[in-house]
Chain A
Amino acid sequence: MENRSAEEITEVLETVWTLQEQKSATMEQVIDNAAKPVSKALLERLAEDGLLAIDDSKRVRLLPKGRLLAEQIMRRHRLAERLICDVLGSRVEDSEAAACEYEHLLAEGITNSICTLLGHPRFCPHNKPIPEGECCRQARDELKPIVVSCNQLRVGESARVAYFCAREHSRLLKLSALGISPGVSLKLIQKWPAYVVQCEETEIALESEVAQDIYVWQTPPE
């Protein structure tokens, strides 16, 4: 019982957050948009707990305590989407449902590891912002991320391909036919006017969108 209500709370906070990203949210909208059934009573209980505020016109708004919680949930959810989409190569549409299942399993420590593995991504596959975690702030300040997108490399820097953000199988085939596939070393040799990478002795021109979707190990692990 306790577990179920935790999931429900998660669902409410998630829905309110998502709605607030677009505009403000009313109680009906929250109830309509939630993926799981949510009762009005639950919303009112959360308001009592100080997680949300409901004003006279039935508008719902996250309070600092709720926002903090929602931020963590959203972070887990969207990181899970990224993981499923980029590393496991599922389609963007499929990643949503799977991420809903995943997000409940991720502990704080694991979330940060995944975030680091993915190179502290800032947007989910649906292009919505992923809330920053402690690890992102640290990485920005002191540490170099382990996996970065190819367009974050400096010119002249070599790296090993970790994975592609696989949107289309045809792109994968095209890249691997030219010699770029996971595990291969490449060197970024030009950024402007188009990206040029060298793979073996072949020079390959890429547009920035494609380069951005190639993720590499910046410091090749031995």
Chain B
Amino acid sequence: MAPPIHSDSKKVVLVGNPNVGKSVIFRMLTGNYALVSNFAGTTVEISRGWMQLGGITYQIVDTPGINSLVPQSEDELVTCEILLREKPDVIVQIADAKNMRRTLLITSQLAEFGIPLVLVLNMIDEAEERGVAIDSQGISDYFSIPAVETIAIYAKGKRQLLNAIQSAKKPRNPLLELFPGNHRDPGLNALSPPVLLSIEWMAGGDRDFARIIDECLGSEAGIRLKEWLADCRSSGRNNPAREIAEIRNKLLDKAVASFKKKRPVRFLEESGSFNRFWLAMLIFGLFIFFWNALGGVLGIPTPFGAAFQIIGSRTDALIGAHFQPESLLRNVLLGKNPDGRLEYGLIPELVHFLLCIAPVIIPLGVLTSGSRRFAYELGILTRRASTGIPILFVVLLLLYEFVGYTGAQTLVGLVEKVMFGQHLVPFLRTLLPSGFFSELTLGKYGLVSMGLTYAIGIILPVVGTFFIAFGLLEDSGYIPRLSILSDRLLRWLGLNGKAVLPMVLGFGCGTMATMSTRILGSKRERFIAIFLLALGIPCSAQLGVMLGIAAGVSPKATLTVIGVVASQLLLVGWLSARFIRGRRSEFIFEIPPIRVPQLKNVALKTWYRVQWYLKEAVPLFLAGTLILFVLDSVRLMGRDLLSWMQAALEPVIEGLLHLPAEAAGILLLGFLRRDYGAAGLYDLARKGLLSGQQIVVSMIVLTLFIPCLASFFMIIKEQGWKRAAAMAAFIAPFAVAVGAAVSWILRALNIQFN
């Protein structure tokens, strides 16, 4: 459906707190068609859709979730701006019926606009279960607005909502009526609506608002407002914003007391009981899951290992016989290595999914969606330290199974080995057998054979699965609980619980994580978070390759690497918390209820992130490869530039770190893409050129070293040249120094890892 523009079309803006079902109502009204765009000059996304009702076309605008129209965040600022700029015909406030005070706070602010208003009391069933009874008729009379009770996920109350949108009238503005001296103040009466809100905006001293008010309400309105504030000050009323806040509080006290009645909590029959069968399945699933996850480490035979063996020996006979040995389909289904080991392929992945992911995820999903009480209890268990930390452990293991196995093994195998290695690159070779262009695209540092293979073949599957997993965690409401659990630790590093989001995201993609530090409240926190991300958080691509190397050496080596990197991260974090000056932000936020993630939301978010990755990061991969290609092909005095640079690095590599000269190339590659370096290391380790000690030292140096070029560009973008250069100037020598120290200690104590 194309966006129809009629002269008689009307505009409806949806406004409400976060997590109240705004997007569900948006979809209920518009169907599934929506136009998503960034609000001018911001990263905040706005959806628009259309609806036909009584011969009139309505444009529906969905705004980001807000807590107040006196903005504290970019989202809130955008919503205020939309209300002022778009001049809607109807405002629909979507509310969580359980939280009357927060609801009516926004209602009292929206009533100020003098635009027809509809209040949607959504999730009325949940309110009832939590013992909240609401007098919606009372609210409706008080503000003279229609108040509609809905359960949006079941489309209950849709008809009433549509009627209300058609019949909505200009609301009463009780707040203005309560404002002292409102009748005797001609200056106040001359102000344009939203009168009190614009006073609060202006009194806040925000320049943006002065501009927005001038643009949307007219410069005269802005002048009158300033005059009124000046009058106020000269008559000794220094803080009108505070007066308004106090009156609003009184209004809310009264309104909540009269419109909300509390009854004891009782879950409705069908949502209050959990299904015993699925609870048993969950416990059984966890048992299988731990057996599989920990059995490998402890060397115990596991169900997964056993199933894998059977697949290995039987399926080839059953299925493999029907295919040519190297046919595409056979590789996709079985993904057998030339040496006969199963490594990737859809059938092994199915076994992996059924035994290592599904046993936990499926009962959990069924229980959470089937029983609200279960979701409620789970919400409590995940935020308490005693139960939350074991649950976090399960979540991390699941994340590893999905990203580290499904992503890094199966998908990487399918895309890199099968698609690129066996089909795309050989096919291109037949088109471009030799010459400069062949070398440029398919050579050792070719744009396709190296650049695209890495970007699409290795990193995209890993980052993509990470984005899916992260989207699921985000949409389920788990991330804020993670913030609570990690607040103390992060505080020690000069951050707070909010920083857990960029930090976890850093294990996916450092570049993206660096960008997401914008959510942190102060400049100092942004700097520390970016610094720590650059220093010691390995991205998923690097992590994947490093786990591969670690599998080849003893667990002791892996633990040493993790221990050294983590201790340095803590040490540097602790020092920067002490010595980097600036304001710290406060940790105040809402904990949303645990819900089953909406797959559509997750898919949409993943798609945006993947799109972002393709647009922003892939060109940097290609640029990095091109630089390598140039360094490799330009010759100076009989040697190419790359080997000159390696030669320059050799004293450091051989003298300080005691690594073979070839490792110089790894560090160099490591700067262009962290995982290029890790992959180079992997090659050296596989060829048996590194001892256990050397593997440990090089992994430490590589992890601590400056992140990839792409994330370095992002650091420059976020923090400016000077700070980025300062970070690099600290990190590079620091990484080498720690590596040298570890190397020295390992040699001095003669610790071996074989």
Once the chains bind, are A200 and B487 in contact (CB under 8 Å)? no
Once the chains bind, are A210 and B588 in contact (CB under 8 Å)? yes
| Complex Cα spacing A179 to B253, Å | 11
Tell me if B263 is interfacial: C-beta within 8 Å of chain A.
no
Give min CB distance, B380 to chain A, whole Å.
8
Give min CB distance, B67 to chain A, whole Å.
4
- When A205-B483, A205-B589, A205-B591 are in contact, do A192 and B101 touch as well, CB less than 8 Å? no
Interface string of A81-102 (1 = CB under 8 A from B): 0000000010000000000000
- When A175-B588, A181-B252 are in contact, do A194 and B68 touch as well, CB less than 8 Å? no
- When A89-B242, A192-B385, A193-B488 are in contact, do A178 and B587 touch as well, CB less than 8 Å? no
* Residue in B105, B252, B385, B484 whose CB lies within 8 Å of A205: B484
Once the chains bind, are B67 and A201 in contact (CB under 8 Å)? no
Tell me if A196 is interfacial: C-beta within 8 Å of chain B.
yes
Interface of A: prevailing SS: mixed
- When A190-B383, A206-B588 are in contact, do A183 and B253 touch as well, CB less than 8 Å? yes
One of A24-32, A40-48, A166-174 at the interface: A166-174
Tell me if A203 is interfacial: C-beta within 8 Å of chain B.
yes
Once the chains bind, are B383 and A196 in contact (CB under 8 Å)? yes
| Residues of chain B with a CB closer than 8 A to A20's CB | none
Once the chains bind, are B68 and A173 in contact (CB under 8 Å)? yes
Tell me if B11 is interfacial: C-beta within 8 Å of chain A.
no
| Complex Cα spacing A194 to B481, Å | 10
Tell me if B485 is interfacial: C-beta within 8 Å of chain A.
yes
**A-B CB contacts (within 8 Å), total count:** 110
- When A178-B67, A200-B98, A200-B99 are in contact, do A207 and B589 touch as well, CB less than 8 Å? no
Tell me if A38 is interfacial: C-beta within 8 Å of chain B.
no
| Residues of chain A with a CB closer than 8 A to B385's CB | 192-193
Once the chains bind, are A204 and B588 in contact (CB under 8 Å)? yes
Give min CB distance, A161 to chain B, whole Å.
10
Tell me if A177 is interfacial: C-beta within 8 Å of chain B.
yes
- When A202-B99, A210-B586 are in contact, do A193 and B72 touch as well, CB less than 8 Å? no
- When A171-B586, A174-B588, A176-B105 are in contact, do A181 and B68 touch as well, CB less than 8 Å? no
| Complex Cα spacing A27 to B101, Å | 58
| Complex Cα spacing A150 to B410, Å | 51
Within 8 A of A (CB), among B471-491: 480, 483-488, 491
- When A194-B484, A194-B497, A200-B102 are in contact, do A207 and B590 touch as well, CB less than 8 Å? no
| Complex Cα spacing A46 to B744, Å | 70
| Residues of chain A with a CB closer than 8 A to B252's CB | 181
Once the chains bind, are A178 and B70 in contact (CB under 8 Å)? no
Bin the interface of chain B by size: 35 or more
Within 8 A of A (CB), among B92-122: 96, 98-102, 105
- When A170-B72, A177-B67, A184-B101 are in contact, do A202 and B484 touch as well, CB less than 8 Å? no
Give min CB distance, B131 to chain A, whole Å.
9
| Complex Cα spacing A207 to B499, Å | 14
Interface of B: prevailing SS: helix
| Complex Cα spacing A203 to B590, Å | 6
Within 8 A of B (CB), among A124-144: none
Tell me if A55 is interfacial: C-beta within 8 Å of chain B.
no
Tell me if B571 is interfacial: C-beta within 8 Å of chain A.
no
- When A204-B588, A207-B496 are in contact, do A179 and B101 touch as well, CB less than 8 Å? yes
Once the chains bind, are A172 and B588 in contact (CB under 8 Å)? no
* Residue in B245, B484, B486 whose CB lies within 8 Å of A172: B245
| Complex Cα spacing A144 to B70, Å | 38
| Complex Cα spacing A201 to B241, Å | 28
Name the residue on B nearest A209 (C-beta).
B586
Name the residue on B nearest A172 (C-beta).
B245
* Residue in B72, B101, B484 whose CB lies within 8 Å of A196: B484
| Complex Cα spacing A199 to B252, Å | 14
Tell me if B717 is interfacial: C-beta within 8 Å of chain A.
no
| Complex Cα spacing A182 to B68, Å | 17
Chain B CB within 10 A, most for which of A182, A183, A194, A203: A194
Name the residue on A nearest B68 (C-beta).
A177
Interface string of A155-169 (1 = CB under 8 A from B): 000000000000001
| Residues of chain B with a CB closer than 8 A to A193's CB | 385, 484-488
Tell me if B132 is interfacial: C-beta within 8 Å of chain A.
yes
| Complex Cα spacing A169 to B68, Å | 14
- When A205-B480, A205-B497 are in contact, do A196 and B591 touch as well, CB less than 8 Å? yes
| Residues of chain A with a CB closer than 8 A to B586's CB | 171, 174, 207, 209-210
| Complex Cα spacing A207 to B488, Å | 9
Once the chains bind, are B72 and A177 in contact (CB under 8 Å)? yes
| Complex Cα spacing A182 to B252, Å | 11
Tell me if B130 is interfacial: C-beta within 8 Å of chain A.
yes
Name the residue on A nearest B200 (C-beta).
A173
| Complex Cα spacing A54 to B105, Å | 62
Name the residue on A nearest B487 (C-beta).
A194
* Residue in A171, A178, A182, A210 whose CB lies within 8 Å of B590: A178
New A-B contacts (10) at CB < 8 Å, excluding given A174-B72, A178-B589, A193-B485: A176-B249, A196-B591, A200-B100, A201-B98, A202-B99, A203-B379, A204-B588, A205-B591, A206-B587, A207-B586
The 10 closest A-B CB pairs, nearest first, are A177-B67, A201-B98, A177-B68, A207-B587, A203-B591, A194-B487, A194-B484, A179-B102, A179-B101, A200-B99
List 19 contacting pairs A-B, 8 Å CB cutoff, sorted by A.
A89-B242, A169-B242, A171-B586, A172-B245, A173-B72, A174-B67, A174-B588, A178-B588, A179-B101, A193-B487, A194-B587, A196-B383, A199-B101, A201-B130, A202-B98, A205-B480, A205-B484, A206-B588, A210-B588
User: Which residues of A approach B to under 8 Å, CB–CB?
Assistant: 89, 169-179, 181-184, 190, 192-194, 196, 199-207, 209-210
User: Which residues of B approach A to under 8 Å, CB–CB?
Assistant: 67-68, 70, 72, 96, 98-102, 105, 127, 130, 132, 241-242, 245, 249, 252-253, 379, 383-385, 480, 483-488, 491, 496-497, 586-591
